[in-house]
Amino acid sequence: MSLRVTRANSRHALVQKTEVPYLLRSRVPLGNASNVIGVNKGVDVPKRQKAVRVKQNAKAKRPAAKAKAYSTENERISEQPVPHADVCQDSEHLQKPSDAPQAFSSLLLNIPDVDSADAGDAQMCSEYVCDIYSYLKHLEDLMSIRPHYLEGQEVSGDMRAVAIDWLMQVQREFKLRQETLFMTVSIADCFLQNNPVPKKYLQLVCVTAMLIASKYEERYPPTVGDFAFVTDGAYTCGDMRRMERIVLKRLNYSLGRPVPTHFLQRACKIGQAGPRECELASFLMEVAVLDYDLVHVPPSLMAAAAFGASLRILGSRQWNKSLEHYTGYSEETLAPVMQAIIRTLEKVTDQCKLQEIKRKYGKVSLSICKADVDGFSSDLLCKDLF
């Protein structure tokens, strides 16, 4: 006799028939699980609010009618389901591009975006280039150099200029980069402003600073023996190693002060400068390094002033709104620094002891005169340009 089939037995048989091992059961997607949890949480929120309000009503001893009205209102809110689909629709709406204008200064100030052409080149970092240069300006403020920091020391501004001119000769001898020269001067100035040294150790500090900068900038830096050789036996390798440890400890290994070359590259790109403007601006920056009165000028301001002076000297173009917007300096701000650079250049062309910068001046003057710029040497000394 067959067993009587009831509704309970048939349901139990159906469950046993469709049962699968635990390991083969499909897991609920995390997205669905989070949506379900979110819905439940949304429903529970009004109930919690109801309990809190009831407690507050009991403490304040409000009338029973008002408490009943509050509870009725909370029950009506809790019975309403949370519109989860509307939340998804809102998120999809936020992901769609809005019709608002692009938040870029070119639409407001009529300034072209000079980095739009580099959007496809990942090495140019066109999306972060403005933030990068803002950070570099922040670093130059943190690692600033005091004006006239050599007051009260044995080393004077003229001694510093002679030492830097000698470093330029070493740079030419070893074929080092321009960034290495500027970083050498930056390390020497940062060290000397807080650590006075006798004048007999000035050359040792400068050559040690170039050794550190070469390790930082060059792919194949010269050895300690090479730098000891260019001092003509004045210092040994042991002296340079000891001075290197002293300099690094006194500077707290902070060697990230920006150099003017980085800002000059940016200015030349914004101003669409040619080879003549770039070469002259690079030379003017090296001239400005010799001037002790400009030691406190930030690298970004120095690069902008050198580029602006090269534009004025060659008469190719003028300082425009794009350069003012991206560099952050107006022509009125650059004028005093440009005049100081021209005064230093006048001293170089006269009879002076700085032989290396005079040699570079003749080379740059000859190359620009070949580029059909007549009277470069005479116009360069004209004060009426500023």
In this predicted model, what pLDDT tens digit does every residue of 308-364 receive, in sequence order? Answer: 999 998 887 889 999 999 999 999 999 999 999 999 888 877 667 888 988 888 888
**Three-state secondary structure along 24-43?**
HCCCCCHHHHHHHHHHHHHH
**More reliable by pLDDT, 166 or 121:** 166
Residue with tokens 């002891």: 353
Number of C-alpha atoms within 13 angstroms, CB side, residue 130? Answer: 10
Q: Is the confidence at residue 125, as pLDDT, over 50?
A: yes
Quick one: pLDDT at residue 370?
Answer: 61
pLDDT band at 219 (very low <50, low <70, confident <90, very high): very high
The confidence score (pLDDT) of residue 354 equals 85
Q: What is the pLDDT, as a whole number, of residue 257?
A: 94
| pLDDT at res. 111 | 85
Read off the pLDDT band of 301 (50, 70, 90): very high
* Range(s) within the chain of domains with CATH label 1.10.472.10: 148-250, 260-385
Angle, helices 355-370/157-174, rounded to nearest 10 degrees:
60
pLDDT at residue 283 greater than cutoff 60: yes
**In the structure, what pLDDT confidence band is assigned to residue 368 with cuts at 50, 70 and 90?**
confident
Higher pLDDT, 302 or 345: 302
Instruction: Categorize the per-residue pLDDT at 24 as very low, low, confident or very high, splitting at 50, 70 and 90.
Output: very low
Mean pLDDT of 271-280: 91
Tell me how far apart the alpha carbons of residues 91 and 89 are, in angstroms, rounded to a whole number: 5
* Residue type at 270 in one-letter notation: I
Q: Going by CATH, does the domain composed of 260-385 fall within 2.40.50.100?
A: no
Mean pLDDT computed over 161-176:
95
For residue 241, name the pLDDT band (cuts at 50, 70, 90). Answer: very high
175 vs 368: CA distance, rounded Å = 22
What would the mean pLDDT of 83-101 be, rounded to a whole number?
45
pLDDT at res. 139: 95
Alpha helices in 143-217 (DSSP H): 157-174, 178-192, 202-217
Domain 148-250 has CATH 3.10.129.10: no
Share of the chain above pLDDT 70, in %: 66
pLDDT-based confidence at 367, cuts 50/70/90? confident
Lowest-confidence region among 1-5, 159-163, 306-310, 342-346: 1-5
Q: Name the amino acid, one letter, at 361.
A: Y
Q: Quote the CA–CA distance of 255 and 309 in Å, as a whole number.
A: 29
Q: Which residue has the higher pLDDT, 350 or 138?
A: 138
User: Average pLDDT of 152-166?
Assistant: 94
Cα 235 to Cα 83: distance, rounded to the nearest angstrom: 81
Query: CB neighbours of 78 closer than 8 A, spacing ≥ 6?
Result: 43, 46, 47, 50
- Distance between CA atoms of 318 and 271, rounded to whole angstroms? 9
Q: Counting beta carbons within 10 angstroms of the beta carbon of residue 276, is it exposed (0 to 12), middle (13 to 18) or buried (19 or more)?
A: buried
From 24-38, 178-192, 281-295, 310-324, the region with the lowest mean pLDDT: 24-38
Q: Which is more confidently placed, 323 or 37?
A: 323
**Secondary element (H or E) of residue 382:** none
**Residue-wise burial string across 218-238, b where 16 or more C-beta atoms lie within 10 A, e elsewhere:** eeebbebeebbebbeeebeee
Q: Would you place residue 26 in the very low, low, confident or very high pLDDT band (cuts 50, 70, 90)?
A: very low
Q: Of 91-100, 217-226, 346-355, which has the strongest mean pLDDT?
A: 217-226
Taking CA atoms, 359 is separated from 138, 169, 174, 183, 378, in Å, by 35, 10, 17, 22, 17
The pLDDT value given to residue 366: 77
Given pLDDT bands bounded at 50, 70 and 90, which one contains residue 94? very low
pLDDT of residue 374: 46
Q: Assess whether pLDDT exceeds 70 at residue 238.
A: yes
pLDDT at 71: 52
Chain-wide mean pLDDT for the chain? 78
Asked whether residue 82 carries a pLDDT value surpassing 50, the answer given is: no
Q: What is the pLDDT of residue 173?
A: 94
